[in-house]
Structure 1
Amino acid sequence: MATLLFLGACSASGPHPRPATRAPATAATTPPSTTIGPAPAAAPPTTGPPPSSSHAPTRTLDPGPATTARTASQEVAGLAGATVVIDPGHNGGNSSHAAQIARPVFIGTGFRACDTTGTNTADGYTEAAYNLDVALRLAAILRAGGANVVLTRTSNEGVGPCIDERAAIGNRAHAAVAISIHADGGPPAGRGFHVNYPALVRGSTDGIVGPSYRLALDLRAAYQAGTGMPPSTYVGSGGLVARSDFGGLNLSTVPKVLFETANMRNATDAALTENAAFRQRVAQAFASGLAAFLTGK
């Protein structure tokens, strides 16, 4: 029985952390060589809490997700009986619990904040609300295909969970694949999506680097075809970025990516994220890409 995991986690309000180098665009199914040494026994950072929540409005545009799936049968073929853990990044209560989410947790290469508030559009539509909306739509699609779905959060009123727990949920479920659902807070002039996949961290991601890269390729293809969103113009290359600083990737024992679906600080992308029809297409594209990965098609 196949098991899937959908995990979502982003950054504090404003731009998400950027990699130091651009990942090369390639059609190969083997990831570019990016090796990080063993995890250090470092002390927790002394940096302060995430940016103030005053820059992350909580007003939500457009009502919640549809309760019915409008997905073609081929998009969920082969997923019947699968256990799917869907983890929408961030949470609506994070902004009012700055100290709690700033608590350092070990991410395999050092320490990082437990969670962050996420970003938002200029109109006040929060990433946390967007992530949950897409996750609920995806859950409906997968349930319609016979999958058993577990959500790490079902409302936008709570706090967390921390990034290490988000990874642990997938590990305990023995998931076949994992996807972290997000939207970026990049430069206003920049557009598009990018897929973060795990770099090789010795003793941590050794077993998932190859399949995670293949997952990134399948999801990228399905996302471009299903949504029309272009690859990011401001980070990565061809919509792909290798990361060694994301706890949700480093601590995962199952193939996983962190998918930034759009740039909420760009007016064009923001208008799309605020549109219910677009969010439905995002969920459908994810279902299609995961089916392609699991069936090898």
Structure 2
Amino acid sequence: MSYAGPEFEPTPQPSRSRGRTALVAVATLVPTALVAWLIWTVVGSASDGGGPARSLPETQGSTTSAAADPTPTRSATQSESATDGSKDDTKPGGSKPGSGKPSASAPAANGPLKGKVVVIDPGHNPGNFQHTTEINRQVDIGTNRKECDTTGTSTNGGYTEAEFTLDVSRKLRTLLEQQGATVTLVQNGDRPWGPCVDERARIGNTAKADAVVSVHADGSAAGNRGFHVILPALVKGGDADTSPIVAPSRALGERIAGNFVRATGSAPSNYVGDGTGLDVRSDLGGLNLSKVPKVFIECGNMRDAKDAALLTDGAWRQRAAQGISEGIVSFLRG
């Protein structure tokens, strides 16, 4: 996610070293309550997608990430270009390039998620770099006004967050369709810029989605590592009223966090969420205006060399999509 703009307006965070670890190592780094919950997620719910949601330690307030270089490079280097499914693979029935409509594809005939609707929101848009006037336009997010969208961040080598989010989102769509879900992408690289954060929320609301996940990567300081899932705070004001979605969104976020650890081996963030992998925010239009369960996931920090090595690896992005998918499946199956 962009570390400056409508979805992140950062304050500096202390840098603490935490390496990429396997699940056993994670158990030594995170609070005991998180360890017990993760073990339950892997052993108890991953096999059948069932069971009640278990709470991670409560996140206190909203924490943002530290700022880095605010002007990421537009194009990816050859060695870091999106691979393994990054091309536009819109299926028949989806949106045509340039249509500006969300991309929806036909669900599998059968599967455990048959009848369920999932909206995937790939953060930012590769074209935002050429449309700064449009994305800087102020929009109403219920509690106040913010910019329509931002460009997002990038690795130091030039692999952009917008490219990353599209690749992971397309992989995620395929995995969910294999489970029988009807899946819509908020944007599929098929529109010149945007959509704005308020429109992103409306797309999920109009679809009456059972779950919405916004895919991002962070742009924090080097040494800040790991993933975190952003949950909606209780917000009421203007068109914003998150009271019906706070609890189910937390359940969705907890399931995604637990499965993301298992699938990727990544540790929860060492700079956001106090080791829980969860963060509560009240300043994000995409969450404030949502009427259906929705979370954001920051899959890692693009400005840290070790995290960037993961984010630019196609095989790791597939595992990231798998972890998010399994979290969604677990949530929707109850």
TM-score range, shorter chain: 0.7 to 0.9
Q: Of the candidates 173, 188, 197, which is equivalent to residue 139 of structure 1?
A: 173
Q: After TM superposition, what 4+ stretches of structure 1 lie above 3 angstroms from structure 2?
A: 9-13, 18-21, 25-36
Q: In the aligned structure 1, how far is the partner of 2:253 from the partner of 2:175?
A: 20
Matched letter for residue 97 of structure 1:
H
- 1:245 aligns to 2:277 (yes or no): no
Cα gap change, 1:10 to 1:289, in 2 (>3 Å): farther
Write out per-residue CA displacement over residues 162-213 of structure 1, whole angstroms, 9 at most, x where no aligned residue. Answer: 0000000000011111111000001111100011101111351111111111
Cα offset for 1:10? Answer: 4.7
Task: In structure 2, list runs of 5 or more residues that go unmatched.
Answer: 14-30, 35-53, 63-68, 90-109
How far apart are residue 146 of structure 1 and its match?
2.0
Cα pair distance change 1:19/1:31, threshold 3 Å: farther
Does 1:214 find its partner at 2:251?
A: yes
What pairs with 1:1-297 in structure 2 (closer than 5 Å)? 10-12=2-4, 16-18=8-10, 29=55, 32=58, 53=71, 55-59=72-76, 61-65=81-85, 78-155=112-189, 158-202=192-236, 204-237=241-274, 238-296=276-334
Does the Cα contact within 8 Å between 1:92 and 1:156 map onto a contact in 2?
A: no
Deviation at 1:17, TM superposition (A): 2.8
Measured after TM superposition, the shift of residue 81 of structure 1 is: 3.1
Q: Secondary structure at the match of 1:79?
A: coil
Q: Displacement, 1:11?
A: 4.6
Residue number in structure 1 paired with 2:26: none
Aligned residues: 263
- 1:55-84 Cα deviation digits (max 9, x unpaired): 3332261424177xxxxxxxx962123222
SS in structure 1 opposite 2:126?
Answer: coil
The residue type paired with residue 29 of structure 1 is S
TM-score by length of 2: 0.71
Aligned-residue CA RMSD (Å)? 2.9
- Native 8 Å contact 2:252 2:331 kept in 1: yes
Contact 2:3/2:220 (8 A) holds in 1: no
Report the Cα distance in structure 1 between the residues aligned to 2:117 and 2:11, rounded to whole angstroms. Answer: 32
* C-alpha contact 1:89 1:182 (8 A) present in aligned 2: yes
1:193–1:260 CA contact under 8 A, matched in 2: yes
Corresponding residue SS for 1:84: strand
Separation in 2 of the partners of 1:241 and 1:286?
Answer: 16
Contact 1:227 1:282 in 2 (8 A): yes
Q: Is the 8 A contact 1:262 1:269 kept in 2?
A: yes
Query: Normalising by structure 1, what TM-score?
Result: 0.80
Task: Answer yes or no: is the 8 Å Cα contact 2:82–2:164 preserved in 1.
Answer: no
Percent identity of equivalent pairs: 44
CA shift in 2, pair 1:281/1:213, >3 Å: same
